[in-house]
Amino acid sequence: MDEIALKLLPLVVAMLLGSVLIALVETKLKSLFAYVVLVIIVIGSSVPAIRALAGHPLEVIIKNPQVFGDIPIRIDALSGWFILIINLTMLTGGFYGIGYLKAYRKENTNLSLHWILMVIFHLSMLSVCVIQNGLLFLIAWEIMSLSSMLLVIFEHYKPETLRAGLNYLVQMHLSVVLLTLGVAGLYLQTQSFDFSSAMQLDNAAILPLFILLFLGFAFKAGFMLGFIPLHTWLPHAHPAAPSHVSGIMSGVMIKIGIFGILRMILLFPLSKTGYLEIIGWIILGVSLASGLYGVMLAIIQHNLKKLLAYHSIENIGIIGMGIGLGCIGLGIDNPYLSAAGFASALLHTLNHSLFKSSLFYAAGNVYRAAHTLNLESLGGLFRKMPHTALLFLLSALAICGLPPFNGFISEFILYGGLYQGSLHARPVGALLLILTILGLALIGGLAMLCFTKAFGIVFLGKGRKPLPESDWQEGPGNLIPLYVNSGLILAIGLFPATFVKFLSAPLALFIPNFNLSFFNFELLDNLQQVSRATVGLLAVSLIMLGIRYIVTHRTVQEVAPTWGCGYNGGAERMQYTATSFVRMYRKLAAPVLLVHRKNVEFPEIFPHEKRTYETHPEDALEANLIDIPIDLMQRFLSFFRFIQNGKIQNYLLYGLVFLFLIGLLSWSKLI
C-alpha cells in the first residue's frame, strides 16, 4: 500500500512544480504548456478512477501521525465517477480556454497566474474527491474555493468582476465555517479525523453533524434551502468569470457539493437514526423548491450567462430530487426507488456537466465576437456563427430534457422512480410524490420557455442593436470542445444503457444487498427500449427531412420579406424582445418575482424622444433575506464608527483599556 503512496506524493508535488513552470514559458506557448500539464493530471487520475468504477477501489493510507493523523486516500466508485466527470470537463474547458484567452495575450502575468491556478484548481477538486481525512479535506476544500475565486476575477480591473469575486469569497467561507464545525464535531465525537469513523458515531450525534455538513455542501452546490438562500453566489460569480471558467465551475465545481452530500449519505449511519426517510423527503422538497425557483428566475434574466447560472440552480434541484428519492427508497427499503433515485442523480450530474459547460462555451463564443451578453442587444447571430448556434441549440434541447438527448434520460429515470414511488407510498407520500411529478413537469415547461427565449432571441431574427465590427470567425479552438460535448450528449441520449451500466458500481455502494440482475432487469432493459424510441425519433426526423427534400427540391422556392401585415419598416425594432417574450410569464409569476420596471413615456401624440421601457429582474430572496439584513446591520454598526477614527493615540488607548480589563477580570477571578 505504501508503495503507491510513495508514487502518489511525488506525482502531486511534480504537478505543483510543473504548474509553477508555466510562468516561465513564453506567452505564446503558455496556454499549450498548461494544457499539457492538465492532460497529464487527467491521465494520471483517470486510471484509478476507471479501475474503481470497474470494481477495484483503491485505498491508500499515508501514515503521518504528527498533525493530521492517518491520511486515508480512498478512490471508490463514487469518487471514480466524479473524478471522470471533473476530468472530462477540465479537458474541454482547458482546451476552450486556450482559444478564449488568445484575446488577452498582452496580459502576460495575468495569464500565468490564470493557468497556474487552473492546475491547482483541478488538483484540489480531485483531492476533495479522494481525501478522507477531515483536516486535510478542509484544506483541499479551501484551496479549491480560493483558486476558483481567483479564476473568477481574471478581469480584475473591472470593478463589477471584483465585487462578484468578493461576494463569492465571502459566501464560500460561510460554507467552510459549516464544514469546519462539522469536521470538528466529528473529531470531538470519535477522536479521529478519518471520515470512516463516522460509522461509530452515537445516535444522538449523527443528525446534527449530518445537517451541518449537509448545509456546508449545499452551499457549494447552490441549493435554495427553503428560506435559506444558499444559491446567491452563483448568479454573481458565473457571469463575471471567463467563459471556460464559468463552464468548469457550473459544470463540475458545484457538483463537488453534490459529491459531498452523497458522500455524507454513504458515511453516516443514517439508517440507525430511523430518520432516513424523512431526510429523503426533506431533500426532495428542498430540491423541488430549488428547481422551480432557479428556472423561474432564469426566465426573466437578460444576461445570457446569468440566465445559465440560474439554470444551474434548477439542475442542481433535479439532481437533488434524485438524491431525495434515493434516500426515501433506502428508508422504506425499496431497492427500485433507491436505484432509480441515485442513478438519475449520478447520471444527471454527468449530463449537466456536459450541456451546461457547452452552453457556457457557446456563450463565450458570443461574448468574444459581440462583446456583450445582453439579450436585448443581440439577435440574428445564427447567420454569423452557425456552428455555435446549432451546438447551443443542441445543448438547449438537452437541458430542457427533450429526447433524443441525454437530459431526457436522467429525467426519464427520475420520473420512473417517482411514479413507482407513488404506487407504493402511503397516501400522504403518494400525494407528495405526485406533486413532485407535477413540479418536475412544470420545471420542464418553464425550461422550455427559458431556452426558446434564450436561443430565439440571441441567434434568430434580425440584429436588435448595431453590434461592433468584429471577427465573427469561429475557429476550431472555439468549437472542438463544443463538438466533443455534443457528441457525448447525443450518444448518451441514443444509447443510454451503455452509459448507465457504469453506474452499477456506485449504486452498489449506496444500496445494501444490491442485486445486479435486478438492476439490469428493471433499469437497463427498459433503457434499451427507450433507446429504440430515441433512435427512432432521430431516424424518423431524418427520413422526413429526406422526403421533404425529394418532394420540394424541384418546386419553386422563393425568398421574400417576412409577413409584416402591410408595413415592413423598422422590422428590427418591431421584433419580439427578451422582455416581451416573457411578459405574460412575468405577470403570472409577479407575486414570486421582484422585477423593477422603468417605463419612460411622453405625453405628446408625436413624441420627439424615444420611449424607453426596461425591466430589471432581481432575486427576491436575495433582496429580502440577504440585502435587507445586511443593510440593517450596517446601519446598526455605523453607530460604532467613531471607534475606528484613524487616530493612533486612540488605538493605543484601546489596547491599554483592553489590557486593563483583562487584568481586572483575572484579578477578580472572573476569567
Residue 592 binding other proteins, by CB under 8 A: no
Q: Kindly state the number of chain residues that form the binding site for other proteins, as judged by CB under 8 A.
A: 85
Of 3-11, 65-73, 445-453, 506-514, the segment contacting other proteins by CB under 8 A is 445-453
**Is residue 383 part of the contact set for other proteins (CB under 8 A)?**
yes
Report the alpha-carbon distance of residue 596 to residue 613 in Å, rounded: 11
Say if CB 118 and CB 252 are below 8 A apart: no
Q: In sequence order, what DSSP letters do the residues of 252-288 get, joined into one string? A: IIHHHHHHHHHHHHHHS-HHHHT-HHHHHHHHHHHHH
Contact code string over 343-382 relative to other proteins, x by CB under 8 A: ------------------------------------xx-x
Cα dist. 324→101, 281, 365, 650 in Å? 40, 6, 37, 56
For other proteins, which residue of 455, 499, 502, 510 counts as binding (CB under 8 A)? 455
332 binds other proteins (CB under 8 A): no
What does DSSP assign to residue 610?
Answer: P
CB of 521 to other proteins, least distance (A): 11
Interatomic CA distance for residues 663 and 671, integer angstroms: 10
Omega before 404 cis (within 30°)? yes
Q: Show contacts with other proteins in window 549-578 (CB under 8 A).
A: 551-552, 555-565, 571-572, 574-576
* 133: β partners: 194
- Whether the Cβ atoms of residue 357 and residue 485 lie closer than 8 Å to each other: yes
Any contact of residue 317 with other proteins (CB under 8 A)? Answer: no
Nearest to 18 by CA among 36, 4, 6, 5: 36
Minimum Å gap between C-beta 519 and other proteins is 14
Sole binder of other proteins in the list 55, 274, 445, 512 (CB under 8 A): 445
Determine if 397 is a binding residue for other proteins (CB under 8 A).
yes
- What one-letter code names the amino acid at 287? S
Name the residue nearer to other proteins (CB basis): 32 or 588: 588
Return the range that interacts with other proteins (CB under 8 A); candidates 99-107, 367-375, 456-464, 646-654.
456-464
Binding string, residues 424-443; x marks residues near other proteins by CB under 8 A? --xx--xx--xx-xxxxxx-
Long-range contacts of 268-273 (CB under 8 A, 24+ apart): 268/198, 268/201, 268/206, 268/209, 268/210, 269/198, 269/199, 269/201, 269/206, 270/206, 270/210, 270/327, 271/330, 271/331, 272/203, 272/206, 273/203, 273/206, 273/207
Grid cell, residue 115, equals 493557468
Nearest to 152 by CA among 141, 142, 166, 138: 166
The single residue among 21, 43, 588, 665 that binds other proteins, judged by CB under 8 A, is 588
Whichever of 158 and 383 has its CB closer to other proteins, that residue is: 383
Among 422, 483, 495, 498, binds other proteins (CB under 8 A): 422
Helix (H) or strand (E) holding 586: helix 583-588
β-strand 228-229 against 594-600: which pairing, if any? unpaired
Note whether 611 binds other proteins by CB under 8 A: no
Residue 498 as a binder of other proteins (CB under 8 A): the answer is no
Q: Which of 48, 99, 456, 481: binder of other proteins (CB under 8 A)?
A: 456
Nearer to other proteins, 185 or 463 (CB): 463
Cβ distance to other proteins smaller for residue 67 or 550: 550
- 400 is a contact residue toward other proteins (CB under 8 A): yes
Output the CA–CA distances (angstroms, integers) from residue 13 to 16, 69, 254, 286, 543, in the order listed: 5, 20, 26, 41, 56
Q: How far is the CB of 232 from other proteins (least distance, A)?
A: 26
Of 197-205, 242-250, 415-423, 637-645, the segment contacting other proteins by CB under 8 A is 415-423
Q: Among 222-230, 489-497, 548-556, 656-664, which window interacts with other proteins (CB under 8 A)?
A: 548-556
- Out of 301, 420, 478, 504, point to the residue binding other proteins (CB under 8 A): 420
Interface with other proteins, residue 401, by CB under 8 A: yes
Is 25 near other proteins (CB under 8 A)? no
| Closer residue to other proteins, CB minimum distance, 79 or 486 | 486
Between CA 352 and CA 395 the distance in angstroms is 10
Of 141 and 455, CB closest to other proteins: 455
Tell me if 540 contacts other proteins by CB under 8 A: yes
Minimum CB distance to other proteins, residue 66 (Å): 55
545 forms part of the interface with other proteins (CB under 8 A): yes
Q: What's at 335, amino acid-wise? A: P
String of DSSP letters for 143-190 = HHHHHHHHHHGGGTTSHHHHHHHHHHHHHHHHHHHHHHHHHHHHHHHH
Residue reference for cell 484575446: 103
